[in-house]
Amino acid sequence: MALAPFGRWRPKVTQSVAPTIAIIAPGNMGAAVAKRLTEHKVTVLTVLTGRSEASANRASDAGMQAVDERKLAEADFLLSIVPPGDALALAKRLAGVLTEANSKPIYVECNAVSPQTMNRIADVIAPTGCAFVGAAIIGPPPKPGATNTKFYAAGPAAKDFAKLNDYGLIVRVLDGPTTAASALKMSYAGITKGFTALGAAMMLAASRGGSAQALQAELAESQPALLGFLSRMVPAMYSKSYRWVAEMDEIADFVGDDHPEHAMMSAAAKFYERIAADFDGGKQEIGAMDQFIAGTKKNG
């Protein structure tokens, strides 16, 4: 056995000794990850202070145990799964609790943040004595039997985190620096979410220009796979667009402001901000996109 920081002995995680996991927070992704773990007899802790009734219900359905923040340090791993704009603030908030604790969980930063932000978070956690894993989630909230949700992990403690492969998660360890998983996530999301923003923007432009029906017909004929992708992704982004604003800003940060494509990613962030406001308001632009997609399905 290895001696953890500040003298806590950690038993080797085996099939007979399931780890304890803390997950902040019980959003759609965090609760789904928790449910996969609790289905494999893992104890999952969370904090519900200040959270909504919907969050509390998700936590209960996932089998999560609500505890005080100080109890989080008793976990073997602490997974940060929050909107990317909240990731650094969460690390700063928990740093005091983790510093004072005798038990030191491995802090796993799972959010869609740039390598630059990942390093800032790692710098916050380092003085606490906790080991740090730079991770990224690619895929939807996991479901039993599905294999399309993967955790990519990097850093010296990533192999420890990979032990959760035995408890319902799919964890892939990357070679390279602690920011390797973050760079992968930024690149992947820049393609998928960046292209979704571009496609949705062109749907709206075609609708305003009176060419929506012609665009549908041409895409169906010459780019059916592309049209299918947009028909799935665009409606799915309506309720998520508020979270994608900060993610696109992180991707722009990853690209770097000395490259012109930085402005392209920043523009996508502004587009999602507009769609988020429309989703909470009159849904005029969402209605136009829905009409485009409905026409696509009808013509298909």
pLDDT in tens, the chain (300 residues): 333 443 343 444 444 689 999 999 999 999 999 999 999 999 999 999 989 999 999 999 999 999 999 999 999 999 999 999 999 999 999 999 999 999 999 999 999 999 999 999 999 999 999 999 999 999 999 998 899 999 999 999 999 999 999 999 999 999 999 999 999 999 999 999 999 999 999 999 999 999 999 999 999 999 999 999 999 999 999 999 999 999 999 999 999 999 999 999 999 999 999 999 999 999 999 999 999 999 866 555
pLDDT of residue 5: 43
Kindly report the pTM of this predicted structure: 0.91
Q: Class assignment of domain 5-177?
A: alpha beta
Please give the structure tokens belonging to residue 26.
């019980």
pLDDT of residue 128: 98
CB contact set of 172 (below 8 Å; sequence gap of 6+): 150, 151, 152, 153, 162
Do residues 80 and 107 lie in contact, with contact meaning Cβ atoms separated by under 8 Å? yes
pLDDT of residue 295: 82
Please give the structure tokens belonging to residue 216.
């549908």
Per-residue DSSP letters for 49-95? TT--HHHHHHHHHTT-EE--GGGGGGSSEEEE-S-GGGHHHHHHHHH
Do residues 179 and 152 lie in contact, with contact meaning Cβ atoms separated by under 8 Å? no
Locate the domains of the chain by residue range: 5-177, 183-299
CA distance 172 to 158: 9
pLDDT of residue 3: 38
pLDDT of residue 86: 97
CA distance 132 to 116: 15
Neighbours of 230 (CB within 10 A): 23
CA distance 96 to 100: 6
Q: What angle do CA 29, 31, 33 make, to 5 degrees?
A: 70
User: What are the backbone dihedrals phi and psi of residue 9, each rounded to the nearest 5 degrees, phi first?
Assistant: -80, 130
pLDDT of residue 8: 42
Q: Is 210 helix (H, G, I), strand (E, B) or coil?
A: coil
